[in-house]
Structure 1
Amino acid sequence: MLSIPTRCWLCQMPLTLASHGLCSCCTRVLIRPRHRCPCCGLPARTSPSLCGRCVAKPPPWQHMVAVGDYQRPLSTLVHQFKFSGGVALASPLARLMLLNILAARRDRALPLPDLIVSVPLALRRQWRRGFNQSALLAEPLARWLGCDHPPAALRRLRAAPLQHHLNARRRAANLKNAFQLEFPVAGRHIAIVDDVITTGSTVGEIARLLARHGAAATQVWCLCRTL
């Protein structure tokens, strides 16, 4: 069993609700609103209008919800979560995502999906890490929102170099036909959950795969959207 911290992960102040992991002050800092394109999640002049990039060339999904940019203090929490054994952070980080999803429902009528899928890791990488961080985020979100979350809905067919070492074109080539769908999605409204979105190549490949199998609509939920 994982011990639940009694102090905020960031400021170390005592927590009234230990299960939240983050105090109300730090939570407000982390989910500070910023004008973002509702489709690609990148900074935009106004919100909820689409940015010029998405008007000219829409991505293969319809909506994106991101907690924040990949910068401190959020990037510190993500790094602890993934690389420093901070799996107890899964629920607090998923709660940040939930707050942003609910805000997007209120502010821009974001439709809720009926199915959540998490971006899979290559088996060897997951074995080394001991967990799939995207699945750990997706599981509580599915429970809180009443969505299906089949853990093995997607399978990664081959290992690949770490994506953050590649440019956008090489990322896309590296991911071509890298995933296999193991769950029926025809007619379903689906959210893809990942921790960090950089160029969008990974979730884009998955969104195209879901569309080929008849998904009605796809959105992307993440902790960080890099600039």
Structure 2
Amino acid sequence: MPTNLPPVTRNLLIVNVVVFALQYLLHDQDTLSLTRWFALWPFGHDIAVDLGGGDVAGIGFRPWQLVTYGFMHGNVMHIVLNMYALYMFGGLIERVMGTRRFTVYYFACLIAAAVAQLAVVYIFEPDRMYPTVGASGAVFGLLGAFAMLFPREKLMLIPIPIGIPAWLFVTLYGVAELVFGVTGTLSGVAHFAHLGGLVAGLALLWAWGVRPPPRHWS
């Protein structure tokens, strides 16, 4: 288990948990305001939402949502899974990459995931008007980095108690996300955001000259 987490991973965990607490502790109208301004809304015209007391506000895409959506989560299970993955993989990858490069990597994956989600919704679901939240796109980028850096390390897919090499685990997970996204299986999950974060992360690592260690493939 990771201990003594490096600064960016630790701070990401803290901020995500604090924001999630705010989502649940604030009054409904305040939570709606958080969602209105900071969740990732599709491109297009704003929609009018009744804020109560006769107040009506528009909800729609804003540029900063490309980042802020990644610090909001839909429910307890959503944040638990994402923060567990960030805890397990983030510290190790930050130590390998260094704090500055890890920061760039994390937010590049997060933004790429948002762009992928926006593009797919704009092209294939232009009438859709509900938001995307969660750090999953960045987490998929971390999974891709782990598979690239430690391809033969074993990962376990719950509830199957069998270790799978990281490169195979991530490949299968990516294929599953593609199938789910294309077929519409498991609706309500931003499958193409996950894929966007994963693909962007792998592309960025490749551009940085990161390759799987040769000794792992012997």
> Would the TM-score normalized by the shorter structure come out above 0.5?
no
Structure 1 or 2: larger strand share?
1
Provide the TM-score with structure 1 as the length reference: 0.28
Structure 1 or 2: larger helix share?
2
Provide the TM-score with structure 2 as the length reference: 0.29
